């Protein structure tokens, strides 16, 4: 049998024709980041928890590309009288196919389709997801009663063993799915006609931000390979609202180069600085603003950074899905004479790290002196949440927040700017330009998303002690570099005004 579109392919095509065309015709493998793969793994574990609500359920365990075999297995279970089937497979007469997370019999010959998502809310594209599934199963001969979206209940609070009945919310989206059926038919026709034209590659989306909606596309490197490292995508990525129609028109015409920018384009101050730095190939410095920033720093200086997890399924009692939990911090302390000391906290067990972390932080961060964090609003939010969960430390944590200053501000504000940094003032963008001798590329862990997933792996009982020890060492190196980077960037600011 010739197969047409699966549910995931249908969703790919809805958001980007080129994505689907490349997937079907190019032979290229999609490249996913570690954080994207972690999201997929979360979806798998959440799906397994949802299955526990149906202890009599049977899994259709054929590999995903074994479509006819999956359908045959599904039909075999139905003939046996199995009432709940996980990963049930259906194929339409014209070769479109889908698997449903949970197929549940509700009457003599009626079925509910239950799609499980690890999200804490109903994303818009889920509606297209369930509509496609309903279309496929009905076209394959199933009498479908309800189309249900089962997703995480963010209000759930863990108390002992996870209670799947409380962890999940089941939303009846039958009306939404039914209303979209005709639209699904039209979309399938359009996408199928596009895909079979193997010699006509569709245009890419006009802006790479769309390449991450609703999830990151694995072909971005291919699609944007012809765009130089510095382009209008850097300068105009967050342009003023009034200028966006002009920007979008440029991008839709395939104009991304600096030379493509109209002379009368309404640039913001930041955008003008970006372009001036690029055209003159120099670092632009606003010495007065930097002087004021540095004059507001009081010694001793504390350079501070949290690492956190936010698991979909809560790990610790008293916490909820996706609640942010700090498990580590790095702290560089600098006296006025320049002497630098490093302290760190990392909770190396599977118990709740928060109170131990709070105590160590309060003990070592002093009561006076400026605290610098890159994107300090995140650290402030973490402290505020910790104060709510542990009220006896509220005063001390609020006092820490009162001393926090954002070390990112001079860089994101373009008080010091080199076009090689790009449009973001993040550490990962700024550090290679101003402190090329420091590099995350030498580390096993190079960004916060990986730090989170690696920590969860390290505290898992399935991970060996040696592997956990290695992960903990890698986490320490990564977090320490985050605060050492801030130390060095403050030095850059001081040198820039001399």
In a domain, 206, yes or no: no
Look up the CATH number of the domain holding residue 303.
Answer: 3.30.420.10
CB 143 within 8 A of CB 109: yes
Q: Which residues pair with 98 in a beta bridge?
A: 90
Range of the domain at 104: 7-11+37-192
Per residue in 40-57, pLDDT (tens digit) is: 677 788 999 999 999 999
Give the span between the Cα atoms of 493 and 100, in whole angstroms.
56
In a domain, 492, yes or no: yes
Indicate the residue among 168, 192, 216 that finishes a domain.
192
Same domain, yes or no, for 114 and 249?
Answer: no
Same domain, yes or no, for 463 and 331?
Answer: yes
pLDDT at 35: 67
Same domain, yes or no, for 278 and 294?
Answer: no
Give the span between the Cα atoms of 143 and 125, in whole angstroms.
24
Cα within 13 Å of Cα(406), Cβ side = 15
Give the other-Cβ count within 10 Å of 495's Cβ: 9
In a domain, 351, yes or no: yes
Judge residue 411's burial from the number of C-beta atoms within 10 Å of its C-beta, 0-12 exposed, 13-18 middle, 19 or more buried.
buried
Look up the CATH number of the domain holding residue 174.
Answer: 3.90.320
Helix (H, G, I), strand (E, B) or coil at 338: coil
- Dihedral of the alpha carbons of 3, 8, 12, 17, in degrees to the nearest 10: 10
- Dihedral of the alpha carbons of 376, 381, 383, 389, in degrees to the nearest 10: -170
Residue 304, pLDDT > 90, answer yes
Closest to 282 measured CA to CA, from 409, 417, 425, 430: 417
Same domain, yes or no, for 337 and 458?
Answer: yes
Closest to 448 measured CA to CA, from 478, 406, 425: 478
In a domain, 208, yes or no: no
Same domain, yes or no, for 417 and 297?
Answer: yes
In a domain, 103, yes or no: yes
Total domains, the chain: 3
Phi, psi of 416 (to 5 degrees): -135, 125
In the chain, % helix, strand, coil (3-state, to 5) comes to 50, 15, 35
pLDDT at 172: 97
Same domain, yes or no, for 174 and 272?
Answer: no
In a domain, 391, yes or no: yes
Indicate the residue among 247, 282, 317 that finishes a domain.
282
In a domain, 439, yes or no: yes
Same domain, yes or no, for 312 and 433?
Answer: yes
Sign of torsion over alpha carbons 317, 318, 321, 326: negative
Indicate the residue among 175, 192, 209 that finishes a domain.
192
CB 257 within 8 A of CB 231: yes
Same domain, yes or no, for 352 and 241?
Answer: no
Per residue in 171-229, pLDDT (tens digit) is: 999 999 999 999 999 999 999 999 999 999 999 888 877 788 778 888 988 999 998 88
Kindly state the DSSP code that residue 258 receives in the 8-state scheme: G
In a domain, 203, yes or no: no
Same domain, yes or no, for 136 and 278?
Answer: no
Residue 39, pLDDT > 80, answer no
Same domain, yes or no, for 434 and 338?
Answer: yes
Same domain, yes or no, for 49 and 186?
Answer: yes
Same domain, yes or no, for 301 and 317?
Answer: yes
Per residue in 367-393, pLDDT (tens digit) is: 999 999 999 999 999 999 999 999 999
């Amino acid at each position: 049998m010739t197969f047409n579109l699966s549910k995931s392919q249908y969703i790919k095509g809805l958001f980007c024709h080129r994505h689907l065309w490349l997937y079907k015709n190019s032979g290229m493998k999609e490249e996913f980041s570690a954080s994207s793969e972690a999201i997929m793994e979360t979806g798998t574990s959440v799906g397994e928890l949802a299955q526990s609500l149906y202890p009599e359920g049977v899994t259709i365990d054929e590999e995903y590309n074994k479509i006819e075999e999956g359908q045959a297995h599904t039909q075999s279970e139905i003939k046996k009288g199995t009432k709940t089937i996980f990963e049930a497979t259906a194929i339409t007469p014209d070769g479109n196919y889908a698997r449903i997370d949970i197929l549940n019999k509700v009457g003599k010959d009626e079925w509910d389709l239950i799609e499980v998502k690890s999200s804490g809310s109903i994303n818009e594209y889920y509606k297209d997801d369930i509509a496609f599934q309903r279309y496929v199963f009905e076209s394959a001969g199933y009498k479908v009663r309800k189309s249900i979206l089962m997703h995480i209940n963010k209000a759930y609070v863990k108390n002992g063993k996870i209670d799947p009945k409380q962890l999940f919310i089941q939303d009846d989206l039958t009306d939404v799915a039914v209303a979209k059926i005709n639209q699904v038919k039209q979309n399938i026709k359009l996408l199928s006609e596009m895909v079979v034209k193997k010699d006509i590659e569709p245009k890419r989306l006009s802006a790479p931000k769309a390449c991450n909606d609703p999830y990151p596309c694995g072909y971005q490197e291919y699609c944007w390979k012809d765009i130089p490292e510095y382009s209008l995508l850097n300068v105009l990525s967050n342009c003023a609202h009034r200028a966006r129609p002009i920007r979008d028109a440029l991008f839709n015409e395939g104009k991304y180069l600096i030379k493509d920018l109209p002379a009368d384009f309404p640039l913001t101050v930041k955008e003008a600085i970006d372009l001036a730095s690029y055209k003159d190939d120099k670092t632009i410095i606003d010495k007065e603003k930097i002087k004021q920033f540095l004059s507001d720093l009081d010694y001793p200086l504390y350079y501070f950074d949290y690492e956190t997890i936010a698991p979909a399924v809560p790990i610790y009692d008293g916490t909820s899905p996706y609640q942010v939990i700090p498990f580590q911090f790095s702290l560089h302390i600098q006296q006025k004479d320049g002497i630098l000391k490093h302290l760190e906290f990392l909770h190396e067990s599977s118990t709740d790290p928060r109170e131990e972390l709070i105590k160590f932080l309060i003990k070592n961060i002093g009561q006076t002196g400026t605290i610098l964090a890159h994107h300090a609003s995140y650290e402030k939010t973490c402290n505020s949440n910790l104060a709510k969960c542990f009220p006896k430390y509220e005063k001390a944590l609020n006092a820490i927040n009162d001393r926090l200053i954002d070390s990112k501000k001079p860089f994101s504000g373009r008080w010091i700017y080199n076009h090689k940094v790009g449009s973001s003032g993040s550490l990962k963008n700024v550090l290679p330009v101003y402190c090329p001798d420091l590099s995350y590329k030498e580390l096993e862990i190079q960004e916060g998303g990986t730090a989170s997933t690696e920590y969860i792996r390290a505290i898992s009982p399935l991970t060996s002690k040696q592997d956990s020890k290695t992960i903990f060492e890698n986490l320490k190196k990564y977090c320490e570099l985050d605060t050492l980077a801030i130390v060095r960037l403050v030095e850059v600011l001081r040198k820039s005004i001399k």
